[in-house]
Structure 1
């Protein structure tokens, strides 16, 4: 029987994750489909967004999305993330672009083995300290070293912009309770988390299986996002705070969009995730062909789609 509707795109036809637009934030609009584009309509008019080139749609308050629109996103492997006001809360996300469980299997295996988990965690810290040997440092020593690096980064950008800095202090339930730079940091981090989350999901990895962070549904998102904050979100936040913005959330999102415009963050994020999770180190195409097999307790896999019953031993269970 033929399934009605437009057939999904073949894997080679999809735009690779690192070649997509990083994120688009929408709020108070109706999201629909027009051919192969997503449309966002509000009282100012209609905007067309090519579905094939979007990494993630951040859907804020007041958005209403049609079945055709979400089907188009799913067809092109784009991710939708439902977020709160100004993008600072996460509620849900869409489907994966991956057709293979290779990364997910590698992630689960590494996070479940103490030695391999420690190796991945150390590799994450090593990415933040190029040229330094972190192989023999304990997690406590690495956390202390990272804390000193972040404090130094805050001080440097405070001096650069003339923005007064005390400490990172915010109320997740009250965005405006913090000072300008803390509000901007919250908004900038939210954009980065959305993009990183989209890449993780698109590659088929698990957002909740973290190596440094643990116990949270987005632990791995925080692991990966921490690799880029010092060069992306922190400078943007201090720039916005220094500009005396009257709409910190919106101005920060636009600044983050401009910072990510060249797409390099997507490329780096994909590369870093694969480097951290896959041993030996990966090369070649990101998207691999799906291969469904059956697990066997001998340690090998056997082909799926076959009936393994021996007719002579066929019994009812």
Structure 2
């Protein structure tokens, strides 16, 4: 996962498999090859159609397909590459269902995000409230830093274009972050819905993990783009996110961070039974001896 391109957006075209290759065919019949096995997630915008063979190939190589709205600011559905592993899922669920273990994980998330230990003798709900206040203040500080006119994080999912440019940029940027985070969560064998701070949503755990990186990556980027008031802010944000994810090697950090956060619960993951689902993206087996590199 860490060596993959973070994401590719596809708009207006038929996605199919021809001659064993994952291709996009435009209205004139021109084919463009997409190296599907080298991409973490593919965002499908309106105007795309995808064949059964293409979905099967993406699933086989562990690439997440995400159906999004125009400019990637809505997320409609996603195709799961490989699914959760039984041992990882049970480990995650045990941590989330035990109040004491869940609090340990939430405290670790707070420490990771803000660089300081969480206040003592606070419940998950109280920490969530403290986090909300700090997040709102961080938005204000970053808006001032980039000289952006900022009122609040406010948008209507049914009227995206009615939002101001800073909110449109933030929506596009966080959508990109959620896409690659969901791909990493699924590749590691965890369940996107079983969250610790966020609960009750299909992507609760994705939001938990993405929030750990949000204010060091996509939020400053979104404000920087918004400050320029470009004619196509969402597109500029997407291109900037792609470059940022590559330069910061974000995909190489997400899964180790998940393991570090969950380890705060101080319990051992259960052993995987022989019949369990294998990793979505297994490590390649080396033909050399231990300690030797092979290509």
With structure 1 as the length reference, what TM-score do the two structures score?
0.78
Q: In the alignment, does 2:49 pair up with 1:64?
A: yes
Of residues 107, 124, 129, the one that matches 1:139 is: 124
Q: In the alignment, does 2:4 pair up with 1:20?
A: yes
Q: In the alignment, does 2:274 pair up with 1:291?
A: yes
1:93 Cα deviation from its structure 2 partner = 1.8
Residue 37 of structure 2 contacts residue 63 of structure 2 at CA under 8 Å; is this kept in 1?
yes
Structure 1 residues 21-56: Cα deviation after superposition (integer angstroms, max 9, x where no partner): 111111212112245542223358543221211111
Aligned with 1:25: secondary structure? Answer: strand
Residue equivalent to 1:107:
92
Residue 22 of structure 2 contacts residue 35 of structure 2 at CA under 8 Å; is this kept in 1?
yes
Ranked by relative contact order (alpha carbons within 8 Å, sequence separation 6 or more), the top structure is 2
The 1:65/1:211 distance shift into structure 2, 3 A limit, reads same
Of residues 214, 221, 228, the one that matches 2:199 is: 214
Bigger Rg, which one: 1
The 1:94/1:290 distance shift into structure 2, 3 A limit, reads farther
Of residues 49, 59, 66, the one that matches 2:34 is: 49
The root-mean-square deviation of aligned C-alpha atoms, in Å, is 2.5
Structure 1 residues 83-134: Cα deviation after superposition (integer angstroms, max 9, x where no partner): 2222222222223346842221111111111111111111111111224354
Q: In the alignment, does 2:192 pair up with 1:227?
A: no
- Give the number of equivalent residue pairs: 273
Q: In the alignment, does 2:142 pair up with 1:157?
A: yes
The 1:262/1:33 distance shift into structure 2, 3 A limit, reads farther
Residue equivalent to 2:152:
167
Aligned equivalents of 1:50, 1:18: Cα separation in 2: 16
Q: What are the ranges of 5 or more consecutive residues in structure 1 without an aligned counterpart?
A: 1-16, 283-287, 294-317
Listed as ranges, the matches of 1:245-284 within 5 Å are 245-262=230-247, 264-278=249-263
Residue equivalent to 2:17:
33
Residue 30 of structure 1 contacts residue 65 of structure 1 at CA under 8 Å; is this kept in 2?
yes
Residue 103 of structure 1 contacts residue 274 of structure 1 at CA under 8 Å; is this kept in 2?
no
1:168 Cα deviation from its structure 2 partner = 0.8
